[in-house]
Amino acid sequence: MTTPEQRRRTIADLVTQHDGLSVDELAARLEVSSSTIRRDLSALAERDLVERTHGGAVPVTNVGVEQPFNQRVVHNLERKRPIGERAVREIQEGQVVYFDAGTTTMQAAKKTPEDLSNVFVTNSPLLLSRLAEGEETVKLTGGQYRPETKALVGPTAEAYIRNSNFDLGFLGVNGISEDGELSTPNESEAALKRLVMANTSRVAVVTATEKFGERSFRQFGSIDDIDLLVTDARVPEPFRDLFDGTELVEDTFG
């Protein structure tokens, strides 16, 4: 049986995917009453996950603008979980592993193996609390805090990464363009991702296939720079040739 919180996550996801829906449309899709939808929309609006309109709701942000963290956390959550669960199976005993700030890497951080001895490094105070639940050594890069992504960035974080070596690194991405460009909205986070890629033996990008065909503000690398892609479904045909030489783990959701 679907819980109210699960239903609200679905509502936030539908509103984002369809760039807005009416109360009646949501009620029909979820097979609940209009009054239930109105209460759910009010609750979601209070958490800045949707914006109420007369008769419905629209996404909080417009296309091309960095979405609030709380909105991204619930978006496609049921697909991000299996991506994270599959990704951490790549971790081996004794490795130094980097976790990028992000909502998909968060799902990986929640599922790190408990029977291995590793060093985990992250630029996310939020992920730090997840990673520290085990007995592994956990390190935080330091740096300037970005509330939009709950990430630490800037010269201090960059110096930490520049002077580190990682066996495995999990990176998130906001866009994978038709020419293989990897991008993210913020230049400070792009700079940090670029450094991580340069100082990591095996780079793994974790993302849902909805990011294919998207292009964000700042490029930080290309498909040629990564060793592994873990995603929720089969990589779309127009992009498959770009991954020649890259290990693909697809259909984690199925």
- Judged on CB neighbours under 10 Å (0-12, 13-18, 19+), 241 is exposed
30-39, 44-53, 215-224 — which is least confidently predicted? Answer: 44-53
**Mind listing the pLDDT tens digit for each residue in 35-52?**
999 999 998 888 777 888
- The span from the CA of 37 to the CA of 21, in Å, is 11
CATH number of the structural domain 76-249: 3.40.50.1360
**Mind listing the pLDDT tens digit for each residue in 148-168?**
888 999 999 999 999 999 999
Mean pLDDT of 194-199: 98
pLDDT of amino acid 250? 92
pLDDT of amino acid 77? 67
Q: Is the pLDDT of residue 76 over 90?
A: no
Mean pLDDT of 172-201: 94
Q: Average pLDDT of the chain? A: 88
63-72, 77-86, 135-144, 225-234 — which is least confidently predicted? Answer: 63-72
- The span from the CA of 74 to the CA of 133, in Å, is 22
Domain boundaries, the chain: 4-65, 76-249
- The span from the CA of 182 to the CA of 97, in Å, is 21
CATH number of the structural domain 4-65: 1.10.10.10
146 membership: H or E segment, kind and range: strand 144-146
- The span from the CA of 250 to the CA of 127, in Å, is 24
Q: Which residues contact 241 (CB under 8 A, 6 or more apart)?
A: none
- Say what angle helices 155-162 and 187-198 make with each other, to 10 degrees: 10
